[in-house]
Structure 1
Amino acid sequence: MALFPPLDMNPEDVRAALAPLRNDFSVAVYTAENAFAVGAIIRVAHSFLAREIILIGSSPHYEKASMGMEKYETITRVQDDDAFLQHVAGRPVWALEKDRARASLYGITAFPKNVVLLFGSERFGIPAPMLERADEVLGIPIYGVNHSLPLAVASGIVMSEWARRHYVDKTF
């Protein structure tokens, strides 16, 4: 259930209030060149109370697209693959890359605890060396002539599937 906007609280107090409600997954975005998409992902990650949003590389994000939610989120920026892997060491990394998928999002039995969901750029996806280092590579089935989904939509589908599996007994 969505919380009422904390209009009378400063962002640090809101972050502290949300901390115990955070979920055990993080979202990572690999050099997404679409600043609007990254802002939208921040907004979606906030809606699902992701633990952390990791931005790999120096691509900017468009704060208006996050509708102000960036001020309530933990956003970590790392410069490259090695810094990312060091930052998430010990946590499973599940990449989303349709063309190199090992499994369907809907065919997996469960998400591991503390999973980091890794998304690539809309144009280039996730580089092969990073996919090889991922613990799992998932695809989202699509059926039209379009070859891919917008990055923000794909991330929203995956976070929604994570939530559906974790909150089966709760209503919205």
Structure 2
Amino acid sequence: MQPVQYDEGYGPEIGVGPHPLPWPEDERYDPELLAGGDRRNVTDGYRYWTREAVVADLDTRRHDFHIAVENWSHDFNIGSVVRTANAFLAREVHIVGRRRWNRRGAMVTDRYQHVRHHPDTESLTRWAAAEGLPVIGIDNLPGAVPLERTVLPRRCVLLFGQEGPGLTDEARKHAAMVCSIAQFGSTRSINAGAAAAIAMHAWVQRYAEIPDPS
């Protein structure tokens, strides 16, 4: 039995092999990928492109929302949040607190997603205020407004607390509002990565241009 090949260390082999000759004459293409094949976790439209070319193209289309995650105890969900932020084309992801975070869940998407660090929540909110971006906390707290009935601002920062304790008091104090996600079962909270995906999709449903199915 042949051993299973893995895409960048994370899953079964995907992608394409070496590009047939003649190669496309375009500076966006990476000669090494053209020669050896492209097994990266990217959509087919970006096959054989350099990382820099992919990022530059994404930068022309990024959405107006930012994602921020408080990271006080190396929350393992951050990688998943970064991967989802890349999928929904967030403008930036902001890591608040500890600079180091578990990148495995990002599935290498952090190479294409702008990630910024802030030492504490106050520095994040100060940056957001200077950029004219309201900070919207996402947490099931007393007084939170239902996300399902709320129109998120087009330009905003969606802020998430770490798994378990949720948003810090500092985050609650500086948030323009806090939105809750409706739950109907017995659990007290949902996974922070899942909450981030739900909130991003709520933004996308209202503001993103959804392409017609081909």
- Output the TM-score relative to the length of structure 2: 0.73
Q: How many residues align structurally?
A: 170
Equivalence map 1:1-172=2 (5 Å): 3-4=43-44, 6-31=46-71, 33-58=73-98, 60-89=100-129, 90-108=132-150, 110-167=151-208, 170-171=211-212
Query: Any stretches of 5+ residues in structure 2 without a counterpart?
Result: 1-41
Which aligned runs of 4 or more in structure 1 are off by greater than 4 angstroms? Answer: none
Bigger relative contact order (CA 8 A; separation at least 6): 1
Equivalent-residue separation in structure 2 for 1:129 and 1:143 (angstroms): 28
Q: CA separation in 2, counterparts of 1:75 and 1:169?
A: 25
The higher radius of gyration belongs to 2
Relative to structure 1, the CA distance from residue 47 to residue 112 in structure 2 (aligned partners, 3 Å threshold; closer, same or farther) is same
Shift of 1:152: 0.5
Q: Separation in 2 of the partners of 1:150 and 1:101?
A: 21
The offset of 1:74, in angstroms, is: 0.6
Offset of residue 111 of structure 1: 1.7
Task: Name structure 1 gaps, 5 residues minimum.
Answer: none
Q: Within 1, Cα distance between the matches of 2:143 and 2:211?
A: 31
Give distance in 2, aligned partners of 1:24 and 1:103. Answer: 22
2:207 and 2:43 map into 1 onto residues whose CA distance is 19
Identity of aligned residues (%): 26
Query: Structure 1 residue 76: deviation in Å?
Result: 0.2
Q: CA RMSD in A?
A: 1.9
- In the superposition, the TM-score normalised over structure 1's length comes to 0.90
